[in-house]
Amino acid sequence: MPMTAPDFDRYFTPGHSFSYESGRTGTLAVAFAGELWLPSGQVTACDPFIGLGGGEAEPFTARVAPGRYRAETAIATLTDPGEDLGGPPHRRTAAARLVIRDTATVTWEPALRAGQDASSLGEDEFFGYGVDAGTGCFYDVAADESFPECEGDEGPLWDAFEEAGHGPGPHLVTGENGHNLVAFGSGWGDGHYPTWVGRDADGGVTCFVTDFFVVPTPGDDPA
């Protein structure tokens, strides 16, 4: 069967800990990015250094009411056995979440784009977006052309990461006409990552979450 969503509640529970078979341990914290403006209610996600402004990042089919919504990331601080704790912390973005409503999520479904069919997926397969610059983001599809200066190592998006020492973020970046996006490091870096849609008991969308595969699956997580 296709990949199923992990327990994202633990990702966004400050202080939750986990460990890898190597002995490396991790502790999670939540970093608030700010409010993302969704003027059309059509959410998209991509590597902004690759997909932003190209008109190729199609929105997810799950739409929400236009508005401003809380964006946050789950940041994992990792420690290796015998590591000198006096050095700089090793932090990675474990997941990024766009919160639509603060009701309990009872079901998860893949965030699909037009033409994608979850029933076509094989064992542990998923739809997701490719990352080639170590970065992911959320934004409204209407904002796609609002960042003309964000190309390569130029513009406000690059500046946000550079000023923060190219750490995991998150960063809320404003473009033209008041549009904005929230960007963050993509876990271990380049790869292919799934986004999930959470729904509450009434079927309403509670959130969009992108998983960057930093937190081990429960079978590998004895913490």
Determine, yes or no, domain membership for 2: no
Determine, yes or no, domain membership for 112: yes
Over residues 88-121, the pLDDT tens digits come to 889 999 999 999 999 999 999 999 999 998 989 9
Q: Is residue 207 a contact partner of residue 105, using CB atoms and an 8 Å limit?
A: yes
Q: Where are the beta strands (DSSP E) in 24-174?
A: 25-38, 43-46, 67-79, 90-99, 107-110, 128-131, 135-140, 171-174
Q: Which residues does 193 contact at the CB level (< 8 Å), separation at least 6?
A: 128, 129, 131, 136, 186, 187, 210, 211, 212, 213
What pLDDT is stored for residue 2 in this prediction? 82
Determine, yes or no, domain membership for 33: yes
Over residues 160-213, the pLDDT tens digits come to 888 877 789 999 999 989 999 999 999 999 999 999 999 999 999 999 999 999
Is the pTM here over 0.85, yes or no? yes
User: Number of folded domains in the chain?
Assistant: 1
> Which is nearest to 175 in space by CA: 43, 36, 65, 44?
36
Determine, yes or no, domain membership for 3: no
Q: Is residue 37 a contact partner of residue 181, using CB atoms and an 8 Å limit?
A: no
Q: How confident is the model at residue 220 (pLDDT cuts 50, 70, 90)?
A: very low
For residue 76, give its domain range: 8-220
Determine, yes or no, domain membership for 114: yes
Determine, yes or no, domain membership for 73: yes
